[in-house]
Amino acid sequence: MISKILRLILPAILMVCRIGAQGQEYQHIVAKEEVAVDTFFSKYLITDKYQWLENVDSAETKEWVAQQNQSSEKYLSKAVRKTDMFGLIDKYAFTLFDNPQKMGDYYFTYAHYNNYNVPALFYQSSLERESEMLVDPTDISKKDVIMLNDYAVSKDSRLLAYQFSRNGSDWNEVKVISLKTRKHREDHLTGLKFSHISWKGDGFFYTTFSQEGKFGETHGQRVFYHKIGTEQRQDSLVFERKNDPSVEFKYLTTSDERFFVLKEFKKKNGMINIYYTDYHSEHPGIVPLITNLTYNADILDSHEGKFIATTFKEANNGRIVEIDPANPYKWRAIGYEFNDALLLKTIPFTDRIVAVYQANQHPFIMVYDYSGTVLYKYQLPVASSVGGFSGNSTDEELLFDFTSYTIPPVVYKFNIRTFKQELTQKTTVNFDFNTIEYKEEEYMSKDSVMVPMILVYEKGMIRDGNNPAILEAYGGFNVVVSPHFDPGIVSFIKHGGIYAFANIRGGGDKGVAWARAGRGENKQNSFDDFIAAAEFLIAQKYTSRDKLAATGASNGGLVVAVAAIQRPDLFKAVVPVVAPTDMIRFEKFTVGHWHTGEYGTVNDSASFARLLHYSPYHNIREEINYPAMLLVTSENDDRVPPFHSYKFVARLQNREAQKNPVLLKIELKSGHYGASTFMSVIREMADVYGFIMNEIMKK
């Protein structure tokens, strides 16, 4: 289908050029051109002059990347000093709070300590006792940046298994520690990816993948069981699909450890199969529960021998159901489905179910009994999120946290019988968050669909078109974006700015139908929704074209990159973060082949045409001076490889028409989630917000 038919090497031009009215401060690196041509369907020839940058280990690529980082560092350091953004973000990031999670008999929390940038894992036997350090990442390695990603406690609360990664990679390792002695066992597993730890007896389940090379295609997920005290090579293979390496698995052990549940998602046809093992049966083995589902269903736990699950079968916004293994296709509904609110989270307990719903970033909590009777309802403020509810299935007192864009987590005790709430400790900030206002808006997109949006700004803001504004969105994979505290947003607002988040199609904010309306053949709707949001902010005089910036990460980075290429007249500055930008070659690397349902595939002619139509890299026009851009990526991002940003920047910079600065910032020892250490996160925020403010302040 795809073949290289031409490789013409043009002379390398690796020289620094100074351009534009701001020539004294902006430098871009001219990349060499080495033409490669991919052929599709024997007639479409796609020329790619910068495909050589996909070889991230070549001396030429490394030299080009080093020069890009040097150039961007010089520009950004001046922008950050000019706006004092590092000082402000560092100030607002200094907040005092603790967010413990109960697991087994203990409470756990990640926390920074001794001025070391990477959080360690702490634990305590009760909230009234002082916490103790359990896992110190510097004990694992002093050379690598170690990120603790996940942990799980055995049912008897004797052992804790934890996952960690090195330098931002998606590849994980597991170690096991005794909670009584606080000493590590000899167990050490490697090669995990997109895995979680699910205990059963004296061991746990986990998953691995196969992958060729750093950015090769990820495939062939396998589920294993590890028995404590044995070597990884002795682990039992539980499940795999040799004939379909694209299959994805999710699994859990129920809280009573009676059932092991495995969900198999077939990427090729979208079908879901659910299997289970009943360890109370005479001959336990994996047997089908439900097969060939065309909709999503997630088993959460068991209750009196039956499964508690959430489903989007007929309930577009989600519903809680009970599934009897003896009659698995006849489900009993528990609680409500809301037309205007999405079911986000369901946590079953012994005789209660806690459910969290959201409507346009407006969450509320419901408590049901197992008959479906509503026992309690609690509404939270707009543009906030609620999480936690951690604890054992038999607990009555739980912990949950509340947060928003401008408020760090506030943790409450919550009794699911009396419904009494009690603040665990005061969250301290060094700014007045009461002066910040949240507003819900709704605007019309290109096809007359109404799209919700949240605005955050200082009270007393005047709508005269002179306010700096940042527009952000995600809009993909049915993901529901919940607000989280961001000191960069606080800093921007304190500069007189407006922060806007658009809940565009493709995201899950308004249910499954909303997500489907912005994926696959409908993907352009996501971009149109974002563009319409920018037009709305300008038309309503919240801001102007010369004051409007756009940013987004991952799929959101694609959204803002497309918007910048399709409507460069709307934005002053654009910051795509870890963004896929070459949509013709994205499925060739790492997990890209899993995302063809979201974006499309080059193996279908109609889909190929749609990808080519919106792919940011392929739609750059020679004669346009695009908005100022800062591309942020990570050298170890094995989800969206960094060369997406490399190639996009190279093509933008190698044009005479580009007078506005185009910068590339590569985070070292980092992965898809960006900067890893506390100070590097602050620096990355300062660079992004400093760049935006610097461009907006220019005449």
Reply yes or no on whether 210 is catalytic. no
**Nearest Cα to Cα of residue 185 among 204, 200, 206, 208:** 204
pLDDT in tens, 65-80: 999 999 999 999 999 9
CA distance 247 to 297: 16
Work out the mean pLDDT of the chain and round it to a whole number: 91
Question: pLDDT tier at 7 (50, 70, 90 boundaries)?
Answer: very low
The total of other beta-carbon atoms located within 10 Å of residue 11's CB is 7
Give yes or no for residue 25 having a pLDDT over 70.
no
pTM: 0.90
The pLDDT score that the predictor gives to residue 675 is 66
Distance, C-alpha 481 to centroid of its chain:
9
Give yes or no for residue 460 having a pLDDT over 80.
yes
The total of other beta-carbon atoms located within 10 Å of residue 244's CB is 14
Q: What is the mean pLDDT of residues 485-497?
A: 95
The pLDDT score that the predictor gives to residue 24 is 42
> Percent of the chain scored above 70 by pLDDT?
95
| Residue with the larger pLDDT of the pair 52 and 117 | 52
Among the listed residues 28, 362, 618, 672, the single catalytic one is 672
Give yes or no for residue 250 having a pLDDT over 70.
yes
Among the listed residues 72, 390, 554, 680, the single catalytic one is 554
CA distance 113 to 116: 6
Assigned token pair, 303: 């209750």
- The residues with which 311 forms a beta bridge, in sequence order, are 297, 319
CA distance 102 to 183: 21
Assigned token pair, 552: 């987004």
Handedness of CA 566, 567, 572, 575 (dihedral sign): negative
Distance, C-alpha 438 to centroid of its chain:
23
Tokens 């955050």 — which residue? 456
CA distance 684 to 674: 8
Residue type, 211: Q
**Nearest Cα to Cα of residue 499 among 470, 521, 522, 461:** 470
Question: pLDDT tier at 1 (50, 70, 90 boundaries)?
Answer: very low
Question: pLDDT tier at 3 (50, 70, 90 boundaries)?
Answer: very low
Give yes or no for residue 466 having a pLDDT over 70.
yes
CA distance 580 to 81: 30
pLDDT in tens, 178-210: 999 999 999 999 999 999 999 999 999 999 998
Instruction: Give the end-to-end CA distance of the chain in Å, rounded to a whole number.
Output: 50
Give yes or no for residue 26 having a pLDDT over 80.
no
Residue type, 243: N
Reply yes or no on whether 554 is catalytic. yes
Measured CA distances, 228 to 223, 250, 254, 535 (Å): 16, 22, 19, 58
pLDDT in tens, 596-637: 999 999 999 999 999 999 999 999 999 999 999 999 999 988
Task: Please report how the helices 487-494 and 85-93 are oriented relative to each other, as an axis angle in degrees rounded to 10.
Answer: 130
